[in-house]
Amino acid sequence: MSRFAPRPDPPYYAVIFTAQRTDGEHGYGEMADRMAELASQQPGYLGVESTRDDAGLGITVSYWRTLADVSAWRRQWEHTAARNQGRAQWYSHYELRVAKVERAYGWDRGDGRSPGDGGA
C-alpha cells in the first residue's frame, strides 16, 4: 500500500499535524489506528501521509475536500482526544495548521517526470 496520498486537482485542504510524542505507549498505537480508520470514513477524506522519527517527532498530513470537512474532522478528533484524556499522555507539544492546497506536483523515479501535475 502506497504511503503517498492521491493527488487530486487543487484546491483542496491539508491538515498539517506536527507532534512530539511522549515516552511510553499509553495506548497510543491503538488510538492512532482507530483515528486513522475513523478519518478515512469521514466525508471529504482524500488521503493521508504520516511519518515519525526515532526521537518521536511525527508529521501527519491529512487531505480533505473542503474546509467544512476539515472542521467536522477536527471536532471529532478533539472530542476523542479529550474523552480519552490522552493528549497529555501522548504528546508533549503539537502544532496543527489548516491550509488550502493551491498547487500540487509529483515525481517518480520510474518515469523521471511528474506523473500528472495538478493545478500547476
Quick check: 95 binds a second copy (CB under 8 A)?
yes
Peptide bond into 11 cis (omega under 30): yes
Quick check: 20 binds a second copy (CB under 8 A)?
yes
Query: What's the CA gap between 69 and 43, in Å, rounded?
Result: 6
Query: What's the CA gap between 66 and 55, in Å, rounded?
Result: 33
- Encode burial over 4-22: b for 16+ CB neighbours within 10 A, e otherwise: ebebeeeebbbbebebebe
Quick check: 25 binds a second copy (CB under 8 A)?
no
Q: Which stretch binds a second copy (CB under 8 A): 2-10, 28-36, 38-46?
A: 2-10
For residue 112, the minimal CB distance to a second copy (Å) is: 7
On whether the CB atoms of residues 36 and 3 are closer than 8 A, the answer is no
Query: What's the CA gap between 9 and 59, in Å, rounded?
Result: 23
- Give the nearer residue to a second copy in terms of CB position, either 7 or 73: 7
Quick check: 46 binds a second copy (CB under 8 A)?
no
Give me the 47-86 binding string for a second copy, x by CB under 8 A, dash otherwise.
--xxxxxx--xxx-x-----x-------------------
Residues interacting with a second copy, by CB under 8 A?
3-5, 7, 14, 16, 18, 20, 22, 49-54, 57-59, 61, 67, 87-88, 91-109, 112
